[in-house]
Amino acid sequence: MKIIVVVLCLFALFSCQSNLSQETKEKIEEKETFWKERTQTIYKNKNTKEYPLKKDTSLTEQRTNRIYLRSNNCQFEAFVDDVLLYKKMGESTKKGGGVSTNFDINQLLLTSGTHEIKIRMYPKYNEPVFGEGGYVGLTFSYFKNRDLQTKEYNLNMNGASGMDLDQSTEQWVDDKGELGNADYVEAHYEPKKPLPLKGLPIYEWRSTFDAQVNFDKIGWRNSVNLKKEQDDEKKDIRTELLKEYQKIHEIISKKDVTGYLSLIREREELVMATLHYRENEKELRSNEFVKIIKDNDYELEPLFEETFQLEYQGYGKLVMFLNKANGEGIIRLKNKKNPDENVYLDFRFQRKGKGEKLTVI
């Protein structure tokens, strides 16, 4: 019966806004300053150059490029070529908790060349500005032909030691070479430039790195700049995007597996090709989506326009809605047995050519 109510809310979207919980309203109010400062930072640091800067290579081996991210005492977002790779936000950072995980990035690289890495750092949850703490570390590597034993580090990004983004004036550097050899260097501290975090509500760090892949995918690289359409041509991107989310919401509410898989087909083909999925792995990934859509233990939550934050990525070529309360996707499924367990479905939209409709990529 609950699913029927959700469907009715879809077709009378704005009449359902009164059902937005008081808790969500309070969270949105709490985050107003965050979104304002974030938007100002994005505008101030607007790129004059777009990445990747393509370089033709003759690479034939399958490479899987990765970034090992680690953090503590802060919230952060990590972007590759201005597309979100990962974010660590929310209450889990309140007591200094962080992340320590490898993330594959082939699906964001799309081609060989010079790429941009961007880290947007924020104080711990519910803290307005940075104190003495705040740390994000990055280590760049790749492995060949799906064999982790072949891992090699990007020496131009400080090799196995990686890069430490914090307020310290020094960084620990691991052993180099083999003990007993003439080129051996014992592990030690090296001086580095500290980040001026203290007293700031947000800090953005950028750099570039080179990476090679054995493919050249277009993805969204040649798509229409939607941000320019909005700003220069006064196109109503928000309303157009809302209609696409409504379609997704209806597909999921009807448990239309075929419709959903068709919707995300281009995105999934890109991910599986760039990450060198085997046939059985492709099937497993597809089955995960089917499982989520069909699972009766989860109920689809209604859409509330007052929670939507318009977000552009990919230097303006990608657009999406984020939830103002927590920055997650606006399509969400709640576990009936455990209301604290939510599944967030994220979508990025592009316009391939002028005058064409928005599509998921």
Give the span between the Cα atoms of 318 and 83, in whole angstroms: 8
List, for residues 49-76, the tens digit of each pLDDT value. 999 999 987 898 999 999 999 999 999 9
**Residue 1 pLDDT class (50, 70, 90 cuts):** very low
List, for residues 248-260, the tens digit of each pLDDT value. 999 999 999 999 9
Helix (H) or strand (E) holding 121: strand 113-122
Give the span between the Cα atoms of 321 and 46, in whole angstroms: 20
Instruction: Confirm if 79 and 313 have CB atoms less than 8 A apart.
Output: yes
Per-residue confidence (pLDDT) for residue 158, from 0 to 100: 95
List, for residues 4-13, the tens digit of each pLDDT value. 333 333 333 3
Q: Where are the domains of the chain?
A: 2-30+221-360, 53-211
pTM over 0.85, yes/no: yes
**Residue 177 pLDDT class (50, 70, 90 cuts):** confident
**Residue 184 pLDDT class (50, 70, 90 cuts):** confident
**Residue 180 pLDDT class (50, 70, 90 cuts):** confident
- Of residues 147 and 3, more confidently modeled: 147
- Alpha helices for the chain (secondary structure H): 2-11, 22-30, 32-44, 106-109, 226-232, 237-253, 257-263, 265-274, 279-294
The residues pairing with 355 across neighbouring beta strands, listed in sequence order, are: none
Q: Cis peptide leading into 52, omega within 30 of 0?
A: yes
Percentage of the chain exceeding pLDDT 90: 85
- If you compute the radius of gyration of the chain from its CA atoms, what whole number of angstroms results? 22
Per-residue confidence (pLDDT) for residue 91, from 0 to 100: 93
Of 67-71, 142-146, 169-173, 243-247, give the lowest mean pLDDT range. Answer: 169-173
Percentage of the chain exceeding pLDDT 70: 95
Mean pLDDT of 16-30: 81
Output the average pLDDT for the chain: 92
Of 103-107, 170-174, 205-209, 271-275, give the lowest mean pLDDT range. Answer: 170-174
Residue 343 reports pLDDT greater than 90: yes
Per-residue confidence (pLDDT) for residue 186, from 0 to 100: 84
List, for residues 129-163, the tens digit of each pLDDT value. 999 999 999 999 999 999 999 999 999 999 999 99
Per-residue confidence (pLDDT) for residue 261, from 0 to 100: 96
Give the span between the Cα atoms of 360 and 262, in whole angstroms: 10
Residue 294 reports pLDDT greater than 60: yes
Instruction: Confirm if 105 and 116 have CB atoms less than 8 A apart.
Output: no
